[in-house]
């Protein structure tokens, strides 16, 4: 039997500082009612002096402990992030140092909100090939450092946090059944952060023009996301000969409660089978799925042999899914 990869441990971490909608009312022209109605978000966590790698470290420790794995037993560290500590070296390399993971490689993946699932696909294929036995995968963001706190259309959306999983080689029927990755670069400007790269390196002008913060076409993104996610989930289940009714849980990217509900309704899925924490954490980008996964695992909402579907949509535009037999 061919190798499979199985998640043997999960962990998550969010900063202590809570920023509520009522706090935002004092900073920008908005209201709790406006934010809640349009996004479903009530509060989000904000990092103080913590960096992205600091959040990674805490989530990783919890995932490794849950799996009973020591840092030195990990073959590879992958960090999915668009808000790393610095452009170079990778946040994964910094995490490697902080964990004292002596025997592993390390690199970052950037697919924005789809990043964790892109990283999951990479890790799964490394293990399926037989090249590696254990991989630590982390999704982490400090989005609060990259939003315009005077732009009410974006600053209310994002929060900070990290989630991690340990994947290990198995030969059984349980584990990751399939992963699916997609992108359409024609819509790159729907969600982007234009400054800081080779196109617009940091200058006084790029800072003045606010090019180092997230820009988003909200209405256009919403329409594409709902339509795309419905097809993504349907195609993923069809490829695996699984009916929607057989799913024990859908864990979606926590971008917007309206998108989550609209997708569930189109699939005739009850919300009781959908993991939701966007109200407490906001959009934590690549961290949202592993944080939600850790929560449902620790709450024992998924059990052995359950079918679990992960799905995400983000900048790029990118979208991705994974089907797991738990």
Residues with active-site annotation = 113, 253, 283
Q: Is 41 within 8 Å of 158 (Cβ atoms)?
A: no
Residue located via tokens 């696909």: 121
| CA dist 25 → 142, 256, 268 (Å) | 21, 19, 36
Q: Looking at the chain, list the stretches that DSSP marks H as alpha helix, in order from N- to C-terminal side.
A: 21-25, 32-39, 52-67, 91-99, 115-128, 152-155, 204-208, 218-239, 257-266, 278-281, 288-298
Please choose, from the candidates 288, 296, 4, 324, the residue with its C-alpha nearest in 3D space to the C-alpha of residue 138.
288
Structure token digits, residue 239:
């490829």
Strand partners, 182: 319
| CA dist 219 → 26, 223, 229 (Å) | 25, 7, 16
305 three-class SS = coil
- 10 Å Cβ neighbour count for 49? 6
131 three-class SS = coil
> CA-to-CA distance for 305 and 245, rounded, in angstroms?
15
Q: Classify residue 52 by burial, with Cβ atoms within 10 Å: 0-12, 13-18, 19+.
A: buried
């Amino acid at each position: 039997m061919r190798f499979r990869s199985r998640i043997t441990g999960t962990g998550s971490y969010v900063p202590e500082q809570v920023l509520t909608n009522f706090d935002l009312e004092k900073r920008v022209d908005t209201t709790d009612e406006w934010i809640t109605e349009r996004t479903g978000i009530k509060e989000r966590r904000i990092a103080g002096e913590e960096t992205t790698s600091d959040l990674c470290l805490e989530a990783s420790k919890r995932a490794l402990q849950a799996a009973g794995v020591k840092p030195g037993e990990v073959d590879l560290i992958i960090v999915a992030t668009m808000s790393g500590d610095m452009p170079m070296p990778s946040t994964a390399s910094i995490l490697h140092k902080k964990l004292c993971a002596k025997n592993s490689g390390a690199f970052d993946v950037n697919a924005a909100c789809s990043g964790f699932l892109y990283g999951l696909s990479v890790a799964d294929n490394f293990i399926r090939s037989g090249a590696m036995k254990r991989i630590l995968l982390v999704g982490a963001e400090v989005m609060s450092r990259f939003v315009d706190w005077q732009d009410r259309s974006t600053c209310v959306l994002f929060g900070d946090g990290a989630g991690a999983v340990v994947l290990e080689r198995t030969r059984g029927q349980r584990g990751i059944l399939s992963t699916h990755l997609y992108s359409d670069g024609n819509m790159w400007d729907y969600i982007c952060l234009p400054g800081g790269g080779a196109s617009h390196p940091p200058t006084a002008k790029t800072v003045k023009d606010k090019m180092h913060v997230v820009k988003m076409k909200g209405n256009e993104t919403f329409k594409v996301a709902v339509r795309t996610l419905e097809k993504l989930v349907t195609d993923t289940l069809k490829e695996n000969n699984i009916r929607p009714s057989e799913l024990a849980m859908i864990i979606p990217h926590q971008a917007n409660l309206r998108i989550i509900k609209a997708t569930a309704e189109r699939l005739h899925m009850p919300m009781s089978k959908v993991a939701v924490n966007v109200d407490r954490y906001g959009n934590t980008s690549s961290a949202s799925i592993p944080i939600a996964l850790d929560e449902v695992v620790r709450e024992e909402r998924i059990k052995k042999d359950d079918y679990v579907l992960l799905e995400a949509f983000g900048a790029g535009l990118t979208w991705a899914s994974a089907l797991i037999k738990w």
